[in-house]
Structure 1
Amino acid sequence: MEIDLSGRAAVITGGSRGLGLAMATRFAASGADVAILARRPDALEEARKAIAAVAKGKVLAVPCDVSKADEIARAHDAVMSGLGRIDIVVNNAGTSRTGAFEDVTDAIWQEDLDLKLFAAIRLARLAWPHMRERRWGRVINVLNIGAKAPRAGGCPTVVSRAAGMALTKVLAGEGAPHGILVNALLVGLIVTEQVKTWHRLRGGNMSLKDFIAKTGEAVPLGRMGTAEEFANMACFLASDLAGYVTGTAINVDGGSSPVV
């Protein structure tokens, strides 16, 4: 299925690697102008070059710590200056920090909420008037399957992600009369750079390839997903093909979540 995002401009947070880079690459190859936001200028520039190799439009790299309101505001202005519009917002920046409830301090809670919840609120709020004016927009919030099925020891991530799912539903209701569609994609076991960290901590004497295969055995489909498969779903939601899809939280997890 051919997806055409020509004439659209997308902003993707956490866009220098992993799922963010995969989505930015897919969007750019489908014709969108793309702005990627992340903290490290060197990683951003490397990602920009990789995206530009397949892009059909503009590619913009904007250094930004999205946990800080003033930096989001500056990044928004830079994107508007460089691309001239914002049609698609993908709130992807985040970590998977977890721990026992008693060990999670106020500072950790605040850091997590600033990065995963308030960053999404602030960026969507800035882009919202542009979308409403043109009566077309897309907001995609990248969460994880713990948002629907929180587990013990999952704080603070599962709580901030669950809040992100509620935000998705609220914005979908408010955006619908203005042609703004808002959805969430919930990540399961996907091969990204994070898996390399898991391998170092838990892999023992296994090779990375064997570790990925072994970890994937727990998934009903029998394997871990790829960042490209995730990006394909995001690209669909960003397109006109998904014109009747809003307010949903879609598992991209190979069937792992106990909650549909």
Structure 2
Amino acid sequence: MLIDLTGRTAIVTGGSEGLGKAIAARFARSGANVVVLARRENVLDETVRDIRRDAVGRVVGHACDVTDSGRVDEVFAAIAAEFGAVDILVNNAGSSNRSPFEELTRASMIADMDLKLFAAVDLAQKVVPGMKERRWGRIINVVSANGKAPKAASAPTTLSRAAGITLTKVMSQELAPWNILVNALCVGVIKSGQWERRHRRDAPDMPFEKYLEPHARPVPLGRFGEPEEFANVACFLASDAASYVTGTAINVDGGLCPVT
């Protein structure tokens, strides 16, 4: 399916690597103007250069910690000055913090919610008024399939991901009258920066694909997903082709999650 996002402006948070980078690149190839937000400026600059090579739309990057409300305000002022309205928001910034239940701390849970839930609310509240005026908008919350089927020692990340799924449903119900569609994409085992960091930590001398093999065995499709496969679903949801899809939490996980 040919997706055309020409004339749309999209923000992708956590966009300097992995899934965020793949989504930003897919949007840009489909004609959208793309604003990439990430914390590490040096990595972000390299990512923007990479995406621009095949981009049809304009691509810019802003170093931004999405939990820093003051910095977020500055970035949104710059986006408004350069592009005007924002049509598509992808809340992808996140991490995978896990610990046994008895080792959970209030601080770790608050920090996780701040990054994955409260920041998503803050960003969405900034773009929704303009979307309402134009009666068109797309908000995609990147969460985890573990938010539907959590495992032992998976908190706090599964707590915030489950909250993100609920937030998606709440927003979709409230914003539907303005043709603002809100969906969640649930990550399974997909090649990402997090898996690359695990590889460097656990088995740096082992080839990356070899390291992934035991983690891929439970997946019905028998392999890890590619970031581009995930980005293709995001691009569909961001387009007019998904005009009757809202309030969903779609598993992009090769059939791994037992909960649909």
**TM-score when normalising by structure 2:** 0.97
Q: CA RMSD in A?
A: 1.2
> Deviation at 1:75?
1.8
> Deviation at 1:213?
3.0
| Aligned residue number for residue 151 of structure 1 | 151
Matched, 1:67 2:67: yes
> Counterparts of 2:203 and 2:220 in 1: how far apart (Å)?
21
> Deviation at 1:10?
0.2
**What is the SS of the residue equivalent to 1:89?**
strand
Q: Does the 8 Å CA contact 2:168/2:182 hold for their aligned counterparts? A: yes
| Aligned residue number for residue 184 of structure 1 | 184
> Deviation at 1:204?
8.0
Q: Does the 8 Å CA contact 2:28/2:56 hold for their aligned counterparts? A: yes
Q: Does the 8 Å CA contact 1:68/1:114 hold for their aligned counterparts? A: no
> Deviation at 1:76?
1.5
| Aligned residue number for residue 98 of structure 1 | 98
Moved more, 126-135 or 192-201: 192-201
> Counterparts of 1:161 and 1:216 in 2: how far apart (Å)?
22
> Deviation at 1:85?
1.4
Q: How do 1:226-241 residues align onto structure 2 when only pairs under 5 Å count?
A: 226-241=226-241
Q: How do 1:34-53 residues align onto structure 2 when only pairs under 5 Å count?
A: 34-53=34-53
| Aligned residue number for residue 28 of structure 1 | 28
Q: Residue type of the partner of 1:116?
A: K
| Aligned residue number for residue 258 of structure 2 | 258
| Aligned residue number for residue 108 of structure 1 | 108
> Deviation at 1:198?
2.2
> Counterparts of 1:154 and 1:80 in 2: how far apart (Å)?
38
Q: Residue type of the partner of 1:126?
A: K
Moved more, 99-108 or 125-134: 99-108
* 1:152-192 Cα deviation digits (max 9, x unpaired): 21111011111111110010011100010000000000011
| Aligned residue number for residue 138 of structure 1 | 138
> Counterparts of 2:44 and 2:81 in 1: how far apart (Å)?
18
| Aligned residue number for residue 166 of structure 1 | 166
Aligned-pair identity (%): 52
| Aligned residue number for residue 212 of structure 1 | 212
> Counterparts of 1:112 and 1:163 in 2: how far apart (Å)?
11
Moved more, 200-209 or 182-191: 200-209
Q: Residue type of the partner of 1:171?
A: M
* 1:134-159 Cα deviation digits (max 9, x unpaired): 00000000000111112221111011
Gap runs ≥5 in structure 2: none
> Counterparts of 1:98 and 1:45 in 2: how far apart (Å)?
30
Gap runs ≥5 in structure 1: none
| Aligned residue number for residue 8 of structure 1 | 8
**TM-score when normalising by structure 1:** 0.97
Q: Does the 8 Å CA contact 2:30/2:57 hold for their aligned counterparts? A: no
Matched, 1:88 2:88: yes
* 1:27-65 Cα deviation digits (max 9, x unpaired): 000000000001111111111111111111211101110
* 1:182-221 Cα deviation digits (max 9, x unpaired): 0000000001122222223444864212122332122110
